[in-house]
Amino acid sequence: MSRATIWSPKRKEVRDALRPFARPSYWLALTLVALDLCLYALGSLTVVLAPGIGGKVVASLVIALAISRMFVLGHDACHNSLTPSRRLNKWLGRALFLPTMSCASLWIAGHNVAHHGFPGLRGRDIPWVPLSPLQYSALPRGKRWRYRIFRSWWGAGIYYGLDVWWRQQYFPKGKVRPEFIRDSWLVTVFMGAQIAAYAWAAHATAQSIGAVLLLGIVVPFVVWLYLAAIVFYVHHTDETARWFDDENEWRVAQPNLEGTHGTHLPMRIDLVLHHALEHTAHHVNAAIPCYRLADAQRVLQARWPAEVPTRIITLRRYFATTKACQLYDGKLHRWVTFAEADAAAQGLAPARPLHNLASGEPT
């Protein structure tokens, strides 16, 4: 299916407005890569060399930030938008994904093809695709509780770790291509080398090997899982987000423009993540590198303010979203809570209207 079929006639106008920003730069890209590699190396050395536990914990969080930033740059490289060179992007994508134990080729197959090709279409898009009330009610009890954990405020990293990273980004499944196997071995070899290096450094400095591995590898990886999960969650989930069961209805909509959000964190903390939350511009034109996304997003917001929602995500709003946006009725185009679905399945009461997360008023 042609990508053009999912756009209204406004598609060309929108893409033309953002075309000037699809200009990758060697200098900007390689400067950011070098900065993040230095941050990663600094955190790794400090985990080993810091004299106290406090400094080691801070260093562990620095590693988590560094690998999260590297993942954003690797994401751009996999879209072939980080630098002007396709070959360089290919190898940078592989290298920048290594600390998160993710295979670039598997990511491209899932993210670039499925997610960007079919955003908001249930059955084709990934990840964070909500079940319908009927799908949820038909699950065995154990799988219902698994899904409830995944959609809870505290379960985002568990979901991403089990359902996205483990199932889709490490070991190839289904139709396996040789590059999937090569990338999986590359990630495995890197992780083995990293474990060996930390173990040797801990032994050489008379430290607990387990503690150094925990702070150097495990904690940063878990923090990254949660950061990635929550960022991807807020990209496409709130009370205004729409999901489609009918592909014909989906084709008429504008999922790349109206189904994504420009999101800011308080005090613009999101800027440390290479503008990863400026998501509408990225979906409209994935050829725009992260270091030009903010300017592109501002153009969209200025020209189409009603169609390009922007919001500030606080912890309170995130908690409220996870409570309200649990299941999605694709026929009525409304979010449904677990309590509503359970009550409806038992014939106790009709589902109540979803409340606006910002105002508290019924929608």
Residue by residue, DSSP assigns 247-312 as HHHHHHS-HHHHS--EEE-GGGGGGGGTTTTBHHHHHH-TTS-GGGHHHHHHHHHHH-TTTS-EEE
**What are the helix (H) ranges across 205-246?**
209-213, 219-236
Domain contains 209 = yes
Q: What is the pLDDT of residue 255?
A: 65
Mean pLDDT per 10-residue interval, the chain, length 363 residues: 40 85 96 98 97 96 98 97 97 97 94 88 91 94 96 96 92 84 95 97 96 98 96 89 88 70 79 90 92 92 80 91 94 93 74 46 42
Domain contains 363 = no
d(CA 83, CA 90) in angstroms, rounded, equals 10
Q: What is the pLDDT of residue 6?
A: 39
d(CA 204, CA 212) in angstroms, rounded, equals 12
* SS3 call for 152: coil
Domain contains 220 = yes
Q: What is residue 207's DSSP assignment?
A: -
Mean pLDDT score of the chain, rounded to an integer?
88
d(CA 84, CA 80) in angstroms, rounded, equals 8
**Domain count within the chain:** 1
Which residues form the domain of 285? Answer: 3-312
Can you say how many angstroms the Cα of residue 127 is from the centroid of all Cα atoms in its chain? 8
Q: What is the pLDDT of residue 348?
A: 58
pTM of the predicted structure, to 2 decimals: 0.90
Domain contains 214 = yes
Residue 179's φ and ψ, nearest 5 degrees, are: -65, -30
- Beta-strand pair 310-312/262-264: parallel
| pLDDT tens for each residue of 45-72 | 999 999 999 999 999 999 999 999 999 9
Domain contains 351 = no
Domain contains 168 = yes
Domain contains 210 = yes
Domain contains 352 = no
